[in-house]
């Protein structure tokens, strides 16, 4: 675990093994850093630094992007084998709701750990969008397994679904990115 150092000039806090020679924030050189005791407990800081939610959210994004790419490649004729196309999509459509639920649970956990409550406007908005994402991905699963769509129709459905899901994921990522920059309370 890195130690924390605080700049005596500007108050900037850095996490490093040893005291820095120059402050990355104000640029003052010399022995201006003092050891800093974070108000956040060591255990909580270790879990926060794992960035569990920020890592896991890449899974649903990767699956939706693959879904989009596979359906486009099929339309333009790059994937000729029908069973290869269906096999890949069946696997993705099955896994997608699972990783989306997993990422949402990790997000709730991360939000509670970071902000101690998850009923702030931004966190509530994220939760609503995440539930919508899960709902849409489950509806695609239902279409795939319970409706016998013609393969070309299914191709278009998957394409539209992947665009919609990417549309839901974009504001989630944008809000999430801003939240990561916020200071954590002690």
Identified binder of Zn ion from the candidate list 3, 4, 9, 66, rule CB under 5 A: 9
Q: Does 7 bind Zn ion (CB under 5 A)?
A: yes
Smallest distance from Zn ion to CB 15, Å:
15
Q: Does 132 bind Zn ion (CB under 5 A)?
A: no
Compute φ and ψ for 164, nearest 5 degrees: -60, -45
Dig out the tokens for 70 from the structure: 């596979």
Identified binder of Zn ion from the candidate list 26, 55, 69, 160, rule CB under 5 A: 26
Contacts of 42 by beta carbon, 8 Å cutoff, 6+ apart: 1
Nearer to Zn ion, 15 or 87 (CB): 15
- Of 107, 109, 113, 119, residue with least CA distance to 186: 113
| HEC profile of 14-55 | EEECCCCCECCCCCCECCCEEECCCCCCHHHHHHHHCCHHHH
Are 67 and 162 within 8 A, CB to CB? yes
Alpha helices, H only, the chain: 42-49, 52-56, 58-75, 82-115, 121-146, 151-180
Q: Does 84 bind Zn ion (CB under 5 A)?
A: no
Nearer to Zn ion, 2 or 178 (CB): 2
Q: Does 10 bind Zn ion (CB under 5 A)?
A: yes
Smallest distance from Zn ion to CB 16, Å:
14
Smallest distance from Zn ion to CB 22, Å:
9
Stretch that binds Zn ion, among 26-34, 46-54, 105-113, 164-172 (CB under 5 A): 26-34
In the complex, the residues that contact Zn ion under the rule CB under 5 A are 7, 9-10, 12, 23, 25-26
């Amino acid at each position: 675990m890195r130690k924390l150092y605080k700049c005596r000039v500007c108050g900037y806090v850095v996490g490093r093994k040893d005291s820095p020679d120059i402050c990355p924030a104000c640029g003052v050189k010399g022995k201006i850093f003092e050891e800093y005791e974070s108000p956040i407990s060591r255990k909580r800081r270790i879990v926060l630094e794992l960035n569990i939610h920020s890592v896991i959210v890449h899974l649903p994004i990767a699956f939706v992007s693959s879904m989009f790419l596979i359906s486009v490649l099929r339309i333009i004729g790059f994937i000729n084998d029908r069973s290869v196309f269906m096999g890949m999509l069946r696997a993705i459509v099955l896994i997608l709701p699972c990783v989306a639920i997993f990422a949402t649970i990790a997000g709730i956990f991360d939000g509670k750990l970071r902000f101690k409550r998850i009923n702030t406007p931004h966190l509530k908005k994220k939760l609503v969008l995440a539930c919508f994402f899960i709902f849409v991905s489950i509806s695609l699963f239902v279409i795939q397994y319970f409706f016998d769509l013609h393969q070309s129709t299914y191709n278009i459905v998957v394409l539209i679904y992947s665009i919609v899901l990417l549309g839901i994921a974009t504001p989630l990522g944008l809000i999430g990115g801003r939240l990561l920059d916020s200071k954590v309370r002690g």
